[in-house]
Structure 1
Amino acid sequence: MHLRVIVTANARKERIETMENGSLRVFVREPSTENRANVRVRNIIAAHVGVPFAQVRIMTGHHRRSKLIAVTSI
């Protein structure tokens, strides 16, 4: 499964919103430096979908707000 995600780092509250076009908007408290926001996004997506952290990968957008995330299942 592939998910389009828009990330907002340094948010006051962590949450996930579904946008009209079907993509997700993920708000994380972590800063975007040193890959911290990306790791937290993977954690939040894994918990939201119900899969282990290792099954969530960022395919594109490692250095951008807009990301394509792949979730693999067992």
Structure 2
Amino acid sequence: MPTVIRVVVKPNSGKGPLVQTLEDGMLRVYVRAPAVEGKANRAAAEALARHFGVPKSAVRLTAGATSRFKRFEIDGLTQG
């Protein structure tokens, strides 16, 4: 069963790639890629894969393709 992760993406960031955990459990992902043609989404998925130590193919965008607020599913994580 995949783990659902709520994410706020900050495109065009000089900090990126960086993943921060917010107080409410949501993640903030800073990426250098612009929010054009899905580039920021792909960069965010790659940053999440690196952060969680899973292959890029294990990370899927499931909601929020055109929003800063997104939901990703990640295979291979243990909840708890």
Q: TM-score range by the shorter chain?
A: over 0.9
Structure 1 residue 16, shift from structure 2 partner: 1.2
TM-score normalised by length of structure 2: 0.88
Partner of 1:5: 7
Name the CA distance, whole Å, in 2 between partners of 1:11 and 1:46: 18
Q: Does 1:63 align with 2:66?
A: yes
The Cα offsets for residues 1-59 of structure 1, whole Å up to 9 and x where unpaired, read as 11100000000121111111001000100000011000000000001011100110011
After TM superposition, the runs of 4+ consecutive aligned structure 1 residues lying more than 6 A away are none
Partner SS, residue 73 of structure 1: coil
Q: Number of aligned residue pairs: give it.
A: 74
Which protein is richer in helix relative to its size?
Answer: 1
What are the ranges of 5 or more consecutive residues in structure 2 without an aligned counterpart? none
Which residue of 30, 36, 39 maps to 1:36? 39
Question: What fraction of aligned residue pairs are identical, expressed as a percent?
Answer: 36
Query: What is the letter of the counterpart of residue 65 of structure 2?
Result: H
Structure 1-normalised TM-score?
0.95
